[in-house]
Amino acid sequence: MVTPPKGDYASIPITAEAKKVADAWDSAKDEAAGEQCRSYGAAGIMRVPGRAHITWQDDTTLKVEIDAGTQTRLLHFGSWKAPANSKPTWQGDSVATWETPVVAAGAAGSAGGVAPVTTEAAKFGSLKVVTTRMRPGYLRKNGVPYSADAVLTEYWDVHKERNGDQWLVITTLVDDPKYLQLPWVTSPNFKKEASGAKWDPTPCSARW
């Protein structure tokens, strides 16, 4: 995995203002300002090469630890609300809901009857995660920005191959009225590993 060089913004529908910010990007200045985690915020972290460890923190909170940048995302279910007067963070506030297909009560058969109802479809669906209140960061490590007004929407889906391999596919949409002309859509993929032997927490870095 190689980070595109400065000035390479291919595939991202950035605005003119975003281009000015990205053209002025300087990793040394980020480090000096203590902003080396800008490319590890929620809107970009799942595309940073690394590994994720997913567990339940409690009955209503899914904990996603990422070794790249040693980041932790908390996905909240139910009626969770951010604490009053809390400040935006790199990982923002994430609200999660399960989305499953709507199963019809029945369908008309060829002879005018009603076909049997199956609940098989209800076993499939996506985990939808909407994240707001993020600190301004980078969509890519080469300085392509997202603003504090950005909204991140993700759909997490698990797929199992015939050979037993399991993949987590995260369809990601970033909406940012300041820095994006259109929503930016990507789909990071994670392959389930047999153990956590390769887990390697590393600090944020503004360098290549």
For the residues of 109-172, what is the DSSP string, one character each? Answer: -TTS-BPPP--GGGG--EEEEEEE-BPPEESSTTS-EE-TT-EEEEEEEEEE-TTS-EEEEEEE
**pLDDT category, 106, cuts 50, 70, 90?**
low
Which pair of tokens denotes residue 42?
């929620």
Note whether 174 and 146 are within 8 A (CB): yes
pLDDT tens, position by position, 174-193: 999 999 999 999 999 999 99
**Quick one: which of 142, 136, 141 has its CA closest to 178?**
136
Using the predicted structure, report yes or no on whether residue 145 has a pLDDT greater than 50.
yes
- What is the pLDDT, as a whole number, of residue 3? 73
Strands 126-132 and 93-99: antiparallel
Using the predicted structure, report yes or no on whether residue 112 has a pLDDT greater than 80.
no
Provide the 10 A C-beta neighbour count for residue 160. Answer: 10
Using the predicted structure, report yes or no on whether residue 12 has a pLDDT greater than 60.
yes
Using the predicted structure, report yes or no on whether residue 118 has a pLDDT greater than 70.
no
In three-state secondary structure terms, 97 is strand
Using the predicted structure, report yes or no on whether residue 13 has a pLDDT greater than 60.
yes
Percent of the chain with pLDDT over 90: 78
- What is the pLDDT, as a whole number, of residue 123? 58
